[in-house]
Chain A
Amino acid sequence: MTGKKKKQIIEKEDVVVKFVGDSGDGMQLTGTLFSDNAAIAGNDLATFPDYPAEIRAPHNTIAGVSGFQVHIGTNKIHTSGDLCDVLVAMNPASLKSNLKWAKIGATIIVDYDSFDDKAIEKAGYKTNPMDDGSLERYNVIKAPVSSMTKESIKELTTDVKTAEKSRNMFALGIIFYIFNRSFDQTFKALDQKFKKNPLISEINKTVIKAGYSYADHVEALESTYTIPRAKLEKGKYRNITGNVATAWGLLAAAEKSGRPLFLGSYPITPATEILMELAKHKSLGAKVFQAEDEIAGICSAIGASFTGSFACTTTSGPGLSLKSEAIGLAVITELPLVIVNVQRGGPSTGLPTKSEQSDLYQALFGRNGEAPVIVIAASSSANCFYYAFEAGKLAMEHMTPVILLTDGYLGNGSQLFRIPKMADLPKINPPIAQPNDPDFKPYRRDPETLVRKWALPGTEGLRHRIGGLEKENIFGTVSTDPQNHQIMTDLREAKVQKVADFIPKQELTGEDSGDLLVVSWGGTEGAVLSAVEVLQKEGKKVSHAHFHYIMPLPKNTNEIFGKFKKIIVCELNSGQFVNYLRMKQPDFKYSQFNKVQGLPFVVSELTEAFNKILEEK
């Protein structure tokens, strides 16, 4: 390590870094510190944490591998990236399970100390990958992370466990060196995090510096990189995860409507963070009820909605199944309610920590009887804020349940978020009945919107009863009259369809006519848009329509579809949206591209699929 020479600095547009290690190796923290640092340095970014369902699976096994991927760049970053440029692997198992996600030629930094016979065998390697030639195509940095970490802090502590726990910071130091990052913001964050234990903060900082100076001396690192500041729209920014953005969107809808927020929820992966986030904000008047189960979560929300709260419940797939009957109750009582489903792999318990779009049928149809609800979907971690807000606005102004679909990638992933001013968000006007309104009847409707009035218990002159039994039109008494049931069924459907008059028109990326229209919805927007952009740059006549409003569909859907020769619908399920389109927009022939592996789309598989369909006669 002598003969140090000045290293070359290369400018890059974007770079993907993936941190992997054993659960408990602190990969989530490492990744978060790096992405926050990049954000402050002015890069656009998207992150994705990838962790096992078990909290601590057996040590050094593939099952126990936890990862955090960060994609930073100068241009707009749509996804957390397909393959990584730099892979940090803290043990053999994490290298084995993640090598397939590294680009050929990628820089791989390993903790060389962790490659002992036992760990190599546990990872399932027959021979030691450090010396069997299997990594020839990569630039491998064999860093003795464990021993150097211990060495660097020997004056601060001799505790073996502390040294073990700070290994991740050594790796972070190397990464900071490779990407020419400043320590300032990260050191401040560490001081903040370990406010009560300054020694730990000091240890972490020392280890980061040790990793940095180690990298400075490694000859295998021939060059370092800079990623210039992103050309982002002027404004104030922060980094935000989809789940926090969802929570804040709900709070914003409460503030704009003047209705207090009530959340009735039960913890479930990957939606729990929304519940935890809202529990922090009692100062904004949020009432957060951690119920005894999913059913009590939604039923308490329905009770709160009856009294005039902006009521929400948050869950993931299996939880939505449990809430089905109660959603029907909110449909028939025509009460506002937002149900957030952070989708994960199904069926049943399925893949709790992986992402999928396979709950669309359930959101649209998963109830007894004819029970229409509004269904909308967010498409990025940051816009979870706006779609949660929109879900609240539609629920309250149209007196109906709204299902908001996000997914594990959006929820756990993070993005830069341009901070809005509350004054710039639209007002929300819930149709609250006035005291002693002589015309009030529980099911009397606004002729334009077919929306009934929200009559709050405690209000003088409006005592009334509602419930799960069919009610007489206008008057709201229990009715089993056949004609009345027909009328009420039709009205409930028409009320939700009328919402199409109040939502934005469907937008297109690209020309408004062409050879191929690529259709997608929900969390796949980034990958699909990136793939479409690749083809557009090649001069192909391809456009992209990404749907956020699913039930009802935007009014111009038919008009848009009619201007393309071919349509392909891409989704992370076996074809739920495409079949819904076949039902709602039967004039067109649809191709489909589907994947159900608990993984997001990669851009290359999409471009391949689009090219194939373009070539077909």
Chain B
Amino acid sequence: MENYTIERSKVELTKEDFVSDQMVKWCPGCGGHAILSSVANVFPKIGYRKENFCMVSGIGCSSRFPYYVNTYGFHGIHGRAAAISSGVKIANPHLSVWMATGDGDSMAIGGNHFIHIIRRNIDINIMLFNNQIYGLTKGQYSPTTPMGSITKTSPQGTIEHPFNPGELILGAQGTFFARAVDTNPKLMTEVMFEAARHDGTSVVEILENCVIFADKTHAQITSKDLRDEHQIHLKNGEPMLFGKEKKKGIRMRDSRLEVVEIGVDGITEEDILIHDQYQQDPGLHLMLAKMTPPHLPMAMGVIRSAMYPTYDDMVEEQIKYAKENSKIKNMDDLLNSGDTWEIE
């Protein structure tokens, strides 16, 4: 779906149009640098006027993002990026609103706003930097930290069950969910482009490495020797194949997903599930979002992209309808409506 309410750029834009003059103050080796570079690459491709991009964030390492992109930007307060972005988009639907947030900002303090923006399906593109740790406050566990992890506030290991953001998003009736890793710029750019094309709230979870406080937290998924076996790149309309030789696949058996190998035990490509990111029923999307190694590969790419009306469009429609049908056209009309009387 193309969004026609946002004005397109009359000139060809480049990455340089979106580079800000501010010094980027993330640690060397932080995944943030790669995400920033992907955003600067994808914005010109999306093609909107540069003045129509608006970047909003909360608090945390991720949330310094607006200062590093040359767009209109708003650095909010902890957990509230989703609420601020909602106001920005509802007030001005002609803006392409992007939200940078983290696992602390959106899964903990801002959890409430996060589920409600998704439920409402406001047309905002959320980049959720998931490094499974509180970085800016120097190393406390977050709601996505794996159980048992030793951190500054869990010296004996965490005793909390972590969130899988994808489950939370689909549970909140999310219409778009994609996953990428900070070490794969091509994939990040692809899913961000898809997120921009999607009408409604789109969440891109980016598995990000924090070199200082949770180094290699995603190594099971991203390390060179494991990534082919532990990741599957979903593509719409294509069979769910993965592995170095693309011989492994996902099939449904007894209502569960399992990994099978083509050519073993009579398995053919016919047995492998075909990815349909657009299907309305979130059942299979949820199963895909929940896949975790070592038994199942982690799903990358666009897992769900279903079409539903957006909140911001419906706001405009209601206003248009009211303007056309109400007798009250201005404040004088309102002040003089209903029971009034003259005193001579």
Contacts and interface: CB of A to CB of B under 8 A. Distances in A.
A111 interface: no
16 contacts: A185-B339, A233-B343, A234-B343, A255-B331, A260-B91, A296-B82, A302-B87, A303-B84, A303-B88, A304-B91, A306-B74, A306-B84, A419-B340, A458-B72, A463-B70, A477-B22
A185 B334 CA distance: 21
Contacts of B59: 468
Give the 4 A-B residue pairs with the shortest CB-CB distance, closest first.
A467-B75, A303-B87, A283-B326, A300-B87
B329 A283 contact: yes
B280 interface: no
Please classify how large the interface on chain A is, using the bins under 10, 10 to 19, 20 to 34, 35 or more: 35 or more
B87 A422 contact: no
Nearest to A459: B51
A424 to B, nearest CB: 11
A514 interface: no
B23 to A, nearest CB: 10
A420 B335 contact: yes
A89 interface: no
A500 B235 CA distance: 63
B331 A422 contact: yes
Contacts of A284: 328-331, 334
Interface stretch (A149-157, A235-243, A566-574): A235-243
Interface stretch (B131-139, B258-266, B316-324): B316-324
A449 B111 CA distance: 40
A296 B112 contact: yes
A291 B83 contact: yes
Contact of B87 (A251, A255, A304, A468): A304
B322 A283 contact: yes
A333 B73 CA distance: 12
Interface in A299-331: 299-309, 311, 325-326, 329
A248 interface: yes
Nearest to A189: B339
A36 B339 contact: yes
Given A40-B341, A255-B331, A307-B54, 16 more contacts: A40-B339, A238-B340, A299-B113, A300-B87, A301-B87, A303-B56, A303-B89, A307-B92, A419-B336, A460-B51, A461-B51, A465-B67, A466-B74, A468-B77, A478-B22, A478-B67
B315 interface: yes
A456 to B, nearest CB: 8
Nearest to A254: B331
Given A287-B319, A307-B92, A296 B116 contact: yes
Given A283-B326, A467-B66, A309 B91 contact: yes
B83 A283 contact: no
A301 B334 CA distance: 24
B342 interface: yes
Interface in B297-336: 315, 318-319, 321-323, 325-326, 328-332, 334-336
A467 B339 contact: no
B51 to A, nearest CB: 5
Contacts of B116: 291-292, 296
Interface string B19-62: 01010000000000000000000000000011110111101000
Nearest to A435: B51
B341 A458 contact: no
A147 B328 CA distance: 45
Contact of A262 (B51, B72, B84, B90): B90
Interface in A166-193: 185, 189
Given A284-B334, A308-B92, A419-B335, A325 B77 contact: yes
A287 to B, nearest CB: 6
B334 A303 contact: no
Given A236-B340, A419-B335, A422-B330, A295 B83 contact: yes
A237 B343 contact: yes
Interface in B137-165: none
A413 B58 CA distance: 40
B113 A289 contact: no
A174 B315 CA distance: 48
Nearest to B343: A232
Contacts of A469: 75
A295 B80 contact: yes
A285 interface: yes
B283 interface: no
B315 A42 contact: no
B312 to A, nearest CB: 10
B189 interface: no
